[in-house]
Amino acid sequence: MERRRAYPSDIGREQSEAIRPILEGVRRRTKPRTVDLHAAFNAVLHVLKSGCQWRMLPEEFSHWVAVYSYFATWSAPQADRVSALERALEKNRLARP
Query: In sequence order, what are the beta bridge partners of 77?
Result: 83
Summarize the confidence of residues 1-8 as an average pLDDT: 78
Residue 23 scores a pLDDT above 70:
yes
Contacts of 24 (CB under 8 A, 6+ apart): 37
- Please state the domain extents for the chain: 13-95
Residue-wise pLDDT tens digits, 59-77: 989 899 999 999 999 999 9
pLDDT computed for residue 96 by the predictor: 60
User: Percent of the chain having pLDDT more than 70?
Assistant: 94
Q: Measure the CA–CA gap between 26 and 75, rounded to whole angstroms.
A: 10
Q: Measure the CA–CA gap between 6 and 70, rounded to whole angstroms.
A: 20
Summarize the confidence of residues 18-30 as an average pLDDT: 87
Look at residues 18, 67, 33 and name the one whose alpha carbon lies nearest to residue 47: 67
Residue 27 scores a pLDDT above 80:
no
Contact 88, 17 (CB under 8 A): no
Contact 24, 37 (CB under 8 A): yes
pTM value is 0.88
Residue 56 scores a pLDDT above 90:
yes
